[in-house]
Amino acid sequence: MTSSEFAHNHFRGLTGDLTIRYATDADRSTMQAIFNHEVASSTSSWEWLPLSTEDWQTWFDDHTSGDYVALVAQFDGQVAGFAGFSAFRPKAGYASTVEDSIFLDPAFRGRGIGKVLLQQLLAEARLRSVHSVVAAITSENLASIGLHRNAGFQEVGRLPQVGHKFGRWLTLLLFQIILDDRPAP
């Protein structure tokens, strides 16, 4: 299946109907609400303030332009979460590496939706000849750590106290998965 053929995939067995599809402009406000909930209530995002509509538009554009992707998980017709990847770093030498993001509405956690989203996101990366996917995860986010480890990511770095939120220092963990065995780019 090529990228242009991917419209959406349906999954059953999660006590409901799950569809994974490309994010559209119509999804932006729901995605923003899910993200801003995490900003306000967790260290999943290190943002201190909710993103404005303009800032969210920038995030959305960064994740839907060129070879980058934003996917939406729709569970029984409702947006349950989203995932995307964009540039890992802006320099040309990093072109074959992306960084992922996954956020779920709290009402839909623990149902396997994140696992399906990440699997589809990795499939999209492979279609685009991405060599390496990096996930930067706060050490407190045990669900995301487990999700990425179960998908084959390895912890490759630990940066103690590189950020802070809610009055405490945060440690950043770097996870990585290599998607192919190319000897050279």
DSSP reduced 3-state for 81: strand
Which sequence spans correspond to the domains of the chain? 3-130
Residue 66: its pLDDT value, please?
87
Q: Is 60 exceeded by the pLDDT of residue 102?
A: yes
Provide the whole-model pTM: 0.89
Non-local CB neighbours of 158 within 8 Å, separated by 6+ positions:
139, 171, 172, 173, 174
Reported confidence tier of residue 6, pLDDT bands at 50, 70, 90: very low
Query: Which one has a higher pLDDT value, 93 or 16?
Result: 93
| Residue range 30-84, pLDDT digits in tens | 999 999 999 999 999 999 999 999 999 999 998 988 889 999 999 988 999 999 9
| Residue range 24-44, pLDDT digits in tens | 999 999 999 999 999 999 999
Q: Helices 28-41 & 53-64, crossing angle to 10 degrees?
A: 110
Does the domain at 3-130 match CATH 3.10.20.740? Answer given as no
In 33-185, DSSP assigns E strands to 69-75, 78-87, 97-104, 132-138, 154-165, 168-178
> Which bin fits 87, alpha (ψ -120 to 50), beta or left (φ > 0)?
beta
Residue 16: its pLDDT value, please?
72
| Residue range 110-151, pLDDT digits in tens | 889 999 999 999 999 999 999 999 999 999 999 999 999 999
CB atoms within 10 A of CB 146: 12
DSSP reduced 3-state for 4: helix
Reported confidence tier of residue 4, pLDDT bands at 50, 70, 90: very low
Q: Is 90 exceeded by the pLDDT of residue 10?
A: no
Residue 15: its pLDDT value, please?
65
- Percent of the chain, pLDDT > 70? 92
